[in-house]
A and B are shown apart, each in its own frame.
Chain A
Amino acid sequence: MKKIHIIGIVIIAVAIGAIFTTLNNTSTYASFTEAANEPGNEFHVVGKRDKEKEMVYEPKVDANKFTFFMTDNKGKECKVILHKNKPQDFEHSEQIVLIGKMKMPENEFEASDILMKCPSKYNDGKPQASN
C-alpha cells in the first residue's frame, strides 16, 4: 500500500467522523409544543415577542433574569424566562430565536440564550421629512 492510500483512508475516516459528530451535535428548530413534548431537551424556538403582555426585567433583583412572552411560528404562546440580561434592543426585535428547554409542568420556556433579528438594523425605516 502506498503512503498516499493511507493518507486517503485517514482523510475519509476523519471526514466521516466530522459529518457524524456534527449531525449529532445539533439542536433542533421546534415549536413550543414540540419542546414541551420533550422537556429536558434543548431546542431552538423561533417566534415573535408578544407585544401585549408584560416584560419583566429587574436588574436590581437579578440582572440575569428577564421574563417575557413569545408566540412561536405555529401561533402558540409561552412564557419565557431568559437567564441573561435583557437585550438592549429587545423592543425593536422583529423575530426572536430562543435556545433553551421547556420546563414542565410550569409550561415555561427556560432560555439560556437569545438571538434577535432587528430588521430595523438592516432595512427598516421609511423616508421621512426632517425639519
Chain B
Amino acid sequence: MEYINEHLWIGKLGNVFVILSFVFALLAGVSYFFAARENEVAPSWKRIARISFRIHALSVVGIVGSLFVMLYSHYFEYEYVWHHSNKEMPMRYILSCFWEGQEGSFLLWTFWHVVIGLVLQKTSKTFEAPVMATISLVQAFLTSMLLGIFVFEHRIGSNPFTVLLRNHPDFAYIPLFQNPQYLDKLDGRGLNPLLQNYWMTIHPPTLFLGFALTVVPFAYAMAGLWQKRFNDWIKPALPWAFVGVAVLGVGILMGGAWAYEALSFGGFWAWDPVENASLVPWLTLVGTAHLLLINRNHGQSLLAAFFLAILTFVLILYSTFLTRSGILGDSSVHAFTDLGMSGQLLIYLFFFLLLGVYLLIKNWKHFPRQAQEEGIWSREFWMFVGAIVLLVSSFQIMFYTSMPVWNKLFDLHKAPAKDAIGFYNSWQLPFAFITTLLIAIGQYFKYKNTELKVFLKKISISLVISLALTFLMIYLVNFDKPYYSILLFSSIFAAVANANYMFLVLKGKIRKAGASVAHIGFALVMLGVLISTSKKDIISQNTSGKSIESLGEKFSNSDNILLTLGDTLPMGKYLVTYVGRKKEGINVHFNVDYFTKDATGKLKKEFTLSPLFQINPRMGNVPEPDTRHFPTFDVYTHVTFALIEDPKEKKDNPADEYDAAKNHTMKKGDTIFSSNAIIVFDSLSTRIDKSKYKIDDKDIAVQAFFRVLDIKKTYIAAPLYVIHNNMIQPIASKVDEMGLQFMFWKIDPSTGKIEISLQEKKSNTKDFIVMQAIVFPYINILWLGAIIMAIGTLLAIIERIRK
C-alpha cells in the first residue's frame, strides 16, 4: 500500500546519522588507541582520530536535530514521536518529549559526552590520545544503543528513526493502517502529565551533564594506569571532578525541587531507587574529587583516588542499568520499562568494570608506595577519612537499593520494609554527622601536620557560636529529637566554622574562598533537609467532626482532611474553606482559602491555595500540589481524592429525589454518618400518641429516637416500627432541613438491636475534596544552601583553572 503524507526521508537521514556516529566513534576509539602508543605512526593515527571524533560529533548533532524536527513537525508516523508527544501539547514541553523516552535520554547523555570530548580534544594536551580513546569507546557503546539492528536474532539498540508506528509489532494489525491517509487523522499519545512541568525541561539535561562529567576522571584514571603516568593525570582531572560535583549535585537537587513542586508524595526526597541511583555516584564523585585534591597537594591516597574514579563511572553505568532495565519493577514508583536493552547495558557495565580492575591489578606492583603514613593531625588524613565515610555511606544506600538485584541473583523474595525511609535515615544520619563534622574542622588542619594548640584555639570560637546557635534553633523549632540534634549541631558547626575560616584565615578573599563557600552551602543543605523533614507537620488531620476513632478502627491513618464545599474547618494554625473548583484547560483547580483568627475571633483571609488535577483520559489524572512559601516555612497541599465531575453539573440527577437507601444495624448509643450529619441512636419508646400517627390501638408500635447533628444544629428523627395485622408497616420520619429520611423496619427484642434504612436526597451530595496538607519548616535553608554550594564550587573551579 502507498501511504500518503508520510515523511520517511527524515527517518532515513536520522538513521544515516546513527550509523555514522557509531562507526566514527569506533574508528576514533581505535585510532586514538594507536595514537596513544608513542611511535612514528602515532601522529597520523592522531589525525585520523581527531577527524573521526569530529565526524562522530557532527553525526550526534545530526541525530539530535533530526529527532527535534520530527517532534516539532508532529511526524506521528514515527513510533517515538507518537509515543511521546501530541498536537495539544504546548511547544515548550518539546524538550521533555525529547528525553521522555529511553532513546532520547541516552541521546542526551551521548550529546553531553560529545561536548565534553570536543573540549578535551583542545585542553587535554599530552593526555588527548589515551583519554579520548576511552571516551570514544564509551561513545561507541552508547551509540550502539541507538542502532536498532538485528545481529543473530538479537536486537542491538532501539532506533527512533526506523521504528514506524504502522510497523510496530503491537499496532501493525490495527485497522487504522488500512487507510493510506491514516496520518490525517492521527494524534500522538502525548507526554506523561507528570513531565509537563518546567523543571522537567532543565532537570534531565543538568542531571545527564552531571552523569556525563563522571567519564572525565574515569578516562584520565584509565589513561594514567595505561601509560603508567600515575601522578600526572591528577592535575587535569581535578577541575573536571569538581565541575561534576557541582553539576550533578545541582541536578539531583533540581530533581528534588521537581518532586516537591509537581509530584504528590509529600516531600523532596523519598529514597526512591531512581533518586538513590543518582545520589550514590555523586557521593563517590565527591570522594574522588577530594582524594584528587589530597594527591595534588600532598601526593597521598593515590590508589584510593584511582579506585574511586573508576568506581564512580561504573556506578553511573550500574545506576543506568537499575533504572532502565525494569528490574526495579515493584519497588520504585517511577522505574522505567524495559526496552529489551538490559543485556546490552550489562555488557557495557562489565566491560568497563573489568577493564578498570584489570588495569589496577596489572599496575599494582608499580604504584609508588607511600614513604610514610599521614599524620593524625594532618588535613590529608581527615580528608581521606571523609572520602571513606562517603564510600561506606554510598555502599549502604546501594546495597539496600539493589534488593531487587539480590532477589533475582539469589532467588529471594525480599521487599523493602514499610518504613524504608526511616531505615535509610537512621543509617545515613551518623554518616552525615561525621561528614559535616569533618567539613567543620577539615580546613583548620594544615597539610602534613598541625599544631594542636593553634588548631584548638582557632576552632574554639566557631564551636562556642555553633553550640549557642544549636540551642537557639532547638528552642525556635521546638526540636524534640535528641538523636537528630547531633546532626543539627554538626551542620551548624560546619556552616559556622567555614564562614569563620573565610573571614579570619582567608580574610574574606573571595577568590580563595570557594571551598569554604561550597562547604557552607552543603552544611545549609543538610540543615534544611534535617529540619524540614524531621519537623514536618501533617496538619491535615481529620477535623471534620466525623471522628474516625469512633468507628473503632485500630489504626486510623488520619493524614487526610475532608473538605466539603463551603464548610470551614480548623487545620493546623489555620481555618480552611473549600471555596470551589475552576477548570482551566486540562487542569481542574480546587481553591482552598486559608484564614487566621485574630484576638477578637474575626476571620482574616491569609491566602488561597489551588492544588489541581491534570485531567488526562488517556494516561490517567494526575494531582499536582500547590505550595505557599513563607520565609520560615512552606504550606504544601495536594488533593488526594476528588470527584472529577462536579456534582452540581450532573444532569441525570433531580435534586429532590432520594438516593438509594442504606441499611444500618444499631444498638442504643451507636453512631452512624450521613454525608452531612452525625446520627446517634438515642432511645426506643412504646409510649406513642397513636392517634397522631393514625395507628390502630391494637397495633404494636415502637418508636426510635435519633439525634441528627450537623455543625450548627440538632434535629430529632423518630421513625416508627408498626405491626398491623401481622404485617410490618413502618412509618418513616423525615428531617427535611437535612434531606434525610429514616425507616425503622426490624427490631430484635433479645439484643435490643434495630435495623433501619437511611435515605438521603441527591442534592445532599455537595462537592468535596480529600486533601493533605504539610508544613515544612525552614525548607528555604535547603534551597539557599544548594545555590551557595553551586556558587562555591564554581569559585573553587575558577581558581583551580587559573592556577
Contact = CB atoms under 8 A, between A and B. Distances in A.
Note whether A and B form a binding pair. Answer: yes
Interface residues of B, number: 67
B668 interface: no
B418 A115 contact: no
Contacts of A104: none
Contacts of A27: 414-418
A60 B542 CA distance: 11
Nearest to B330: A97
A59 B171 CA distance: 40
Interface in B400-457: 400, 403, 413-418, 423, 427
Contact of A85 (B170, B423, B640): B640
A19 B398 CA distance: 11
A106 B336 CA distance: 38
B353 interface: no
A129 B176 CA distance: 7
Contacts of B642: 88
A55 interface: no
B416 A130 contact: no
B613 A65 contact: no
A113 B559 CA distance: 13
Contacts of B621: 88-89
A120 B620 contact: yes
A3 B376 contact: yes
Interface in A57-81: 57, 59-65
B381 interface: yes
Nearest to B620: A89
A128 B395 CA distance: 47
Contacts of B330: 29, 44, 46, 95, 97, 115, 117
A86 B165 CA distance: 36
Given A62-B548, A121-B620, A22 B400 contact: yes
B620 A118 contact: yes
Interface in A15-30: 15, 18-19, 21-23, 25-30
Given A7-B385, A60-B675, A112-B557, A18 B399 contact: yes
Contacts of A126: 170-171, 174
Given A7-B388, A18-B395, A61-B546, A85 B337 contact: no
A73 to B, nearest CB: 11
Contact of A30 (B392, B413, B559): B413
Contact of A115 (B76, B333, B395, B673): B333
B768 A60 contact: yes
Given A61-B673, A120-B620, A121-B620, A130 B187 contact: yes
Contacts of B414: 23, 26-29
A63 B540 CA distance: 12
Interface in B150-200: 165, 170-171, 174, 176, 182, 185-187, 189, 192
B561 interface: yes
A43 B413 CA distance: 10
B698 interface: no
Nearest to A123: B337
A126 B391 CA distance: 46
B688 interface: no
Contact of B182 (A23, A84, A129): A129
A43 B330 CA distance: 13
B373 interface: yes
Given A83-B557, A130-B186, A64 B542 contact: yes
A29 B529 CA distance: 32
Nearest to A99: B418
Most buried by B among A2, A63, A118, A123: A63
Contact of A121 (B192, B395, B400, B641): B192
A125 interface: yes
B606 interface: no
Given A42-B418, A125-B189, A127-B82, A64 B427 contact: no
A88 B333 contact: no
A125 B618 contact: yes
B738 to A, nearest CB: 13
A51 interface: no
B770 interface: yes
B553 interface: yes
Contacts of B623: 88
B560 A85 contact: yes
Contacts of A22: 396, 399-400, 403, 423
Contacts of A113: 418
B562 interface: yes
A121 B619 CA distance: 5
A111 to B, nearest CB: 10
Contacts of B176: 127-129
A2 B373 contact: yes
A129 B76 CA distance: 12
B373 A28 contact: no
B465 interface: no
A37 interface: no
Q: With a 10 A CB-CB cut-off, give which of A2, A23, A59 has the most chain B CB atoms.
A: A59
A64 B620 contact: no
Interface in B746-783: 768, 770
Contact of A59 (B182, B391, B619, B768): B768
Nearest to B561: A63
Contacts of A28: 413-415
Contacts of B124: none
Contacts of B400: 18, 22
B84 to A, nearest CB: 11
Interface in B717-771: 768, 770
Contacts of A43: 415
Contacts of A120: 618-620
Nearest to B641: A85
B6 interface: no
Contacts of B464: none
Nearest to A26: B414
Given A59-B641, A64-B560, A115-B330, A127 B620 contact: no
Select the residue from A3, A60, A112 with max chain B CB neighbours within 10 A.
A60
A20 B745 CA distance: 61
B784 interface: no
B475 interface: no
Nearest to B76: A127
Contacts of B374: 3
A41 B735 CA distance: 47
Contacts of B618: 120, 124-125
Interface string B323-348: 00000001001001100000000000
A101 to B, nearest CB: 10
Nearest to B418: A99
Contacts of A46: 330
Interface of A: 2-4, 7, 11, 14-15, 18-19, 21-23, 25-30, 42-44, 46, 57, 59-65, 83-86, 88-89, 92, 95, 97, 99, 110, 112-113, 115, 117-118, 120-131
Given A27-B416, A65-B553, A86-B641, 12 more contacts: A18-B427, A25-B417, A27-B414, A60-B768, A61-B546, A63-B561, A83-B555, A88-B621, A110-B555, A113-B418, A118-B619, A120-B619
Sorted from nearest, which 8 A-B pairs have the closest CB atoms? A129-B185, A44-B415, A89-B620, A18-B396, A26-B414, A85-B640, A29-B413, A63-B770
7 contacts: A3-B373, A15-B392, A27-B414, A27-B418, A61-B673, A95-B330, A127-B76
